[in-house]
Amino acid sequence: LLGETPEAAELRRRLLVRLLPMMDPDGVARGGTRLNRHGYDLNRHWDRVDPDDPGACASMPEIAAAKHALRDWLASGRPVDLFLSFHDTQDDVLILAPPLVEHPCLLRLLEEMRRIGFAGGVQNAGSINASTVETALHAEFGILTGLVELGTADLPTYGRPPTAEDRVRFGADLAMVLGGLRPGRSRPAAGRTLEARWEGTAMADKIGVAMLSFAHVHAPGYADQVQNNPDAELVAVWDDDPARGRAEAAKRGLPFYADLQELLALPGVQGVVCDAPTNLHPAVLIAAAEAGKHIFTEKALTIGTKDATEVVAAVRKAGVKFMISLPSRTRPETLFAKQVIDQGLLGDITEMRARIAHMAALDRWFQPGPDHSGSTWFGDEEAAGGGAFFDLGCHRVDVMRWFLGEPKSVVARMNNFAGAYPIDDNMVAVVEFKNKALGILDVSWVHRCGPNPLEIYGTHGYLAIEAGPGPKVWLESTKLDAGGIQGAIAPTNLPAALPTPMVQWINAIKDGTPMTIDITDGWNLTQLLEGCYTAARTGRAFEF
């Protein structure tokens, strides 16, 4: 932070707090040898110096100068957020001392960076009844204080000695903690306290939200949606991949928690966004519900209905707000199709055909990357539950279930066409619904180009949606004309889009606004996915 590199200058420019560097020239040398003739040091003899006493100032000028600097700063009305004292000790005397004030985020930062120990306000660190600077500042001014031990040479059980790179990275992370930096913002929201930042607490008028994993490719987008929402604030990160989680937390100036339960215990976290691999959803979602946290999750809810039923039970028991991200339901063309069906303009539905596809397998999208954003688990059947049909197909499967009701049976075929991943990349399912309608689902990761249409046929008409920018909608119905003459329209006055799933969820937490998607929809999606895959894997029809 005090260096002359461009990185250091940028950190100083963006830092909320001002640094007041202070030195302890007396040292904390062991064996009774002090580095000045008086035998005093800043840490142990702070309370023995009256800065207004000329004699004391003469005998301990370093301590007197430090006291004057701090008191003048505080008298000016400017706060001191943190007083952090660094030591290079070769034993564990201070390391094992109890902390005076809890600093959860700073403690984690020190632990993650392999900083060896921490003690705040140790009252008898080497001198009986001698107050340390940490103790005195906390008692006199209410300043949060900390003492950090960096020495490790004789303490192998506490880790390796920190390198220069470690210390540079620690400085950058410390700046993030103290400044509450956000990408693209030069300062954090006004009124945010350091204690609140450490405890994962949002501002008083905002909903505190934690990210639970950045495994999914959509996770950064969801994090941005939270950060850009005026009623919410991203306050903490947990990840099943600690390296990925730390990297994402650092980008956003957030504390990272290696322990999920520790994060869920934070009172300042009111809601969580789950983007973990799908096989981890049951454990993560149930833990969040049991902790009383509102939940936003990526689709699918779970891989199988057994786990889905347990998640539903936990969420309902906890009474928390729950949203699963099914954005197709909020789009104008989908809302229009639902209205047409419900108004009977198509008559009785006989068939629905829906395709959704892209080139993920052809172009090998799910590769590891230096930023841990490759989502390689998408090609792992155990982690993902399935391939193209499970991932991409969720959107069409959910809409079909919403339009046509309860399924009766399904037959399906899948294959691995490209061989890019050991999982399905091309699959078709035919679902018979209890109302006798047939649903044909066609999902692929080996689609280079061409339309992704949705078509619905009924005894009185036909509706088609061609997906893409500015989706095209076509409707034919014998009921469009009062005389029963067949007619056709290309509607332009579609319903307005609903708020996104994220906005609906935040509004529900804020003021109880009803959501248009609920956990039952998540269970229904998992049920239909499970049936389709069971049919494809066994080669037999699956009865629901």
**The tokens of 37 are what?**
């003739």
pLDDT band at 88 (very low <50, low <70, confident <90, very high): low
pLDDT of residue 353: 98
Mean pLDDT of 509-517: 95
pLDDT of residue 229: 93
The three-point CA angle 528-530-531 to 5° equals 65
Give the integer Cα–Cα distance in Å for 131 and 350.
Answer: 83
pLDDT at 99 over 50: no
pLDDT at 443 over 70: yes
Top pLDDT among 489 and 18 is at: 489
Longest CA–CA span in the chain (Å) reads 109
Helix or strand (DSSP H, E) at 314: helix 305-318
Tell me the range of 169-173, 375-379, 464-468, 515-519 where mean pLDDT is highest: 515-519
3-state SS class at 207: strand
pLDDT of residue 206: 86
What does the pLDDT look like over 521-536, one tens digit per residue? 999 999 999 999 999 9
Report the 10 Å Cβ neighbour count for 474. 14
Mean pLDDT of 3-31: 53
pLDDT of residue 302: 98
What does the pLDDT look like over 462-505, one tens digit per residue? 999 987 666 789 999 988 765 554 555 677 778 899 999 999 99
Q: Which residue has the tokens 């249409």?
A: 453
Is 480 exposed, middle or buried, given 0-12, 13-18 or 19+ CB atoms closer than 10 A?
middle
pLDDT of residue 360: 92
Top pLDDT among 112 and 287 is at: 287
pLDDT of residue 57: 60
pLDDT of residue 318: 96
Beta strands 207-212 and 271-274: pairing type?
parallel
Give the integer Cα–Cα distance in Å for 70 and 304.
Answer: 60
pLDDT band at 20 (very low <50, low <70, confident <90, very high): low
Reported in sequence order, the residue ranges of 122-172 that DSSP labels E, i.e. its strands, are 145-149
pLDDT above 90: percentage of residues in the chain: 50
| 3-state percent helix, strand, coil for the chain, nearest multiple of 5 | 35, 20, 45
pLDDT of residue 454: 96
Tell me if 345 sits within 8 A of 480, measured CB to CB. yes
Helix or strand (DSSP H, E) at 310: helix 305-318
Give the integer Cα–Cα distance in Å for 342 and 347.
Answer: 9
Show Cβ contacts of residue 1 under 8 Å, excluding neighbours closer than 6 positions.
8, 11, 12, 15, 19, 171, 174, 175
pLDDT at 126 over 50: no
pLDDT of residue 178: 55
Q: Which residue has the tokens 């980008």?
A: 251
pLDDT at 37 over 80: no
Which residues are paired to 465 by β-bridges? Answer: 454, 473
**Domains of the chain in sequence order:** 6-172 (no CATH), 200-320 (3.40.50.720), 328-543 (3.30.360.10)
pLDDT of residue 271: 97
Tell me if 279 sits within 8 A of 304, measured CB to CB. no
pLDDT band at 87 (very low <50, low <70, confident <90, very high): low
3-state SS class at 33: coil
Of 110-119, 260-269, 346-355, minimum mean pLDDT range? 110-119
Measured on CA atoms in the order 395, 400, 406, 407, is the torsion positive or negative? negative
pLDDT at 241 over 60: yes
Measured on CA atoms in the order 179, 185, 187, 192, is the torsion positive or negative? negative
Q: What is the chain's mean pLDDT, rounded?
A: 77
What does the pLDDT look like over 269-319, one tens digit per residue? 999 999 999 999 999 999 999 999 999 999 999 999 999 999 999 999 999
**The tokens of 29 are what?**
């040398």
pLDDT of residue 182: 32
Which residues are paired to 207 by β-bridges? Answer: 232
Mean pLDDT of 9-24: 53
What does the pLDDT look like over 129-182, one tens digit per residue? 455 666 666 666 666 665 555 544 443 334 445 555 555 556 655 655 555 433
pLDDT of residue 466: 86
Give the integer Cα–Cα distance in Å for 159 and 163.
Answer: 12
Give the integer Cα–Cα distance in Å for 306 and 146.
Answer: 48
Q: Is omega for the bond preceding 196 within 30 degrees of 0, making it cis?
A: no
pLDDT band at 417 (very low <50, low <70, confident <90, very high): very high
Q: Which residue from 531, 533, 526 is spatially nearest to 544, judged by alpha carbons?
A: 531
pLDDT of residue 73: 72
